[in-house]
Amino acid sequence: PDDPEEILRALLDARARASLVIATGGIGPTRDDRTREAVASAVGRPLRFHPGAENQVRAWCRRHRFLYRRAQRQQALFPEGAGVLRNRVGSAPGIWIRDRSGAMAVFPGVFSEMTAMFGGLIPRLRSLRPTSFATATLRSAGVGETRIDARIGPATRRFPQVEVTTLASPGEVVIQLRARGRAATRELSRCRRWMAQALGSDLVSERDVSLEEVLVDLLRSRGWRLATAESCTAGQVAARVTRVPGSSSVFVGGVVCYNDLAKEHLLAIPHAALARGGAVSRPVALAMARGAANRMRAEVAVAVTGIAGPGGGTSRNPVGTIHWAVVHPGGESSQTRKLAGGREKIRAHASCIALDLVRRILLAERSGSARHRA
């Protein structure tokens, strides 16, 4: 809660357990912004007006035509001796404190502001590190966290100096590696190479490159263009592809055809096919992919149709039933799965699988081409 005593207790508890504390929220211009008082109490310093912080707040007020009043001015109150973390997005500067107990960084609670400001903290964090260390991030897709953990589990015995953490999201698993000491970089590189071999085709990237970035690079290397046809995912596949800067060189466009009429008119799917098997079926998924490829003149097209819930399921097609199809120069592929979770989790998972299916097909096509040349 916005209670200085509660915030103070939380900060003191954190400082007792760690040499670095990062806090967000409560340093803005409103009456419920009470974190700065708690921070001052936690480090045992009085609050003073910081000239550098005040200049930042005044500059923000001028840009946005705000009067520099008492509410705005309170954002320049800093614990004595604290440094300023520049905020280029919002009005509240961040607070940086370093003393015998460690270091503390305090950011605004607005996520976009905190994200933009965090880069300014990195040089300060580097100065705190007690020893050399190395990190790496691998990304996998198509296999759940439990199976990934089982496959990379032996790494803890083979590379005891490397700490391994897995983080799962719908359809993807991120593997984080950390090592300390003089040999940190060498040990971490050995572990990363071993994991890449253990993961095989389930490995998306061993250098923290997203699934959509890898996909765009694969399409670009083949000179192929991609189109999407989506029903239950409602454009999420296309949205992920277009997150990548420069994706317009390989992404033609997408169609969101949420009902049968749209599928008929936008993708030229025969009414008989929809009536015979229903919109949630393998034949319709394939027809959607063919229609997208033909209408948008793309070499590769991926389609998704299914039931994300919470309603609409039947005994034949329960909630979570999803069909995918991909058409490409080498042929056609399709897949059917039943995904678990709520509506948004199913949609996110289905979008990820669509991208991963295309990635795997492109990898297989590239390997086939390489063998053919050999």
Structure tokens at 129: 């590190």
Q: Looking at residue 373, what is its pLDDT?
A: 53
Q: Looking at residue 333, what is its pLDDT?
A: 96
Q: Looking at residue 181, what is its pLDDT?
A: 85
HSE value, Cβ hemisphere, 13 Å, CA-based, for 19: 7
Q: Looking at residue 374, what is its pLDDT?
A: 45
Q: pTM for the full model?
A: 0.82
* Close Cβ partners of 238 (under 8 Å, ≥ 6 residues apart): 228, 230, 251, 253, 254
Structure tokens at 362: 């492109």
**Cα 257 from Cα 280, distance rounded (Å):** 12
Choose among 244, 234, 229, 226: nearest CA to 358: 226
What does pLDDT average to in each consecutive run of 10 residues of the chain (374 residues)? 94 96 96 95 97 96 93 96 95 96 96 94 83 90 95 94 96 96 91 97 97 98 97 98 98 97 95 92 97 98 97 94 97 97 97 98 80 50
Give the end-to-end CA distance of the chain in Å, rounded to a whole number. 66
Evaluate whether 321 touches 336 at the Cβ level (below 8 Å): yes
String of DSSP letters for 175-200: EEEEEESTTHHHHHHHHHHHHHHHHG
